[in-house]
Amino acid sequence: MANSILSVKIAFDSLTYKDDDPGNTKHIKELTVHLKDPVGVRNQYRFVVTVNGQQVKRIFAYNDDFTDGAVTYTRKLCRMTGTY
């Protein structure tokens, strides 16, 4: 019989975005999530991104294999194009 354990939900500290289009002609935004990753616990993260109430049809899933215990874990989620 297989067993699995769900990790405790990790809240993120902040979500930031920046305009990634100097001329602002393509309306590109870059989203970044900031959180504290617990030390010694293997975590996998999944983020659901919505824009104006519509879910972005893309999977945003990451793990902490290379960032375990990072005081502030920063992950660029996506670059979005369009008018928001």
Per-residue pLDDT tens digits for 11-34: 888 888 877 666 766 667 778 888
Domain count for the chain: 1
- Report pLDDT for 76: 64
Rounded mean pLDDT, 36-44: 85
Query: Per the domain annotation, does 30 fall within a domain?
Result: yes
Per-residue pLDDT tens digits for 46-78: 888 888 888 888 878 888 888 888 766 566 666
Please, is 28 exposed, middle or buried when counting C-beta atoms within 10 Å of its C-beta (0-12, 13-18, 19+)? middle
The domain in which residue 49 lies consists of 12-81
Average pLDDT over the chain, rounded to an integer: 77
Model pTM score: 0.66
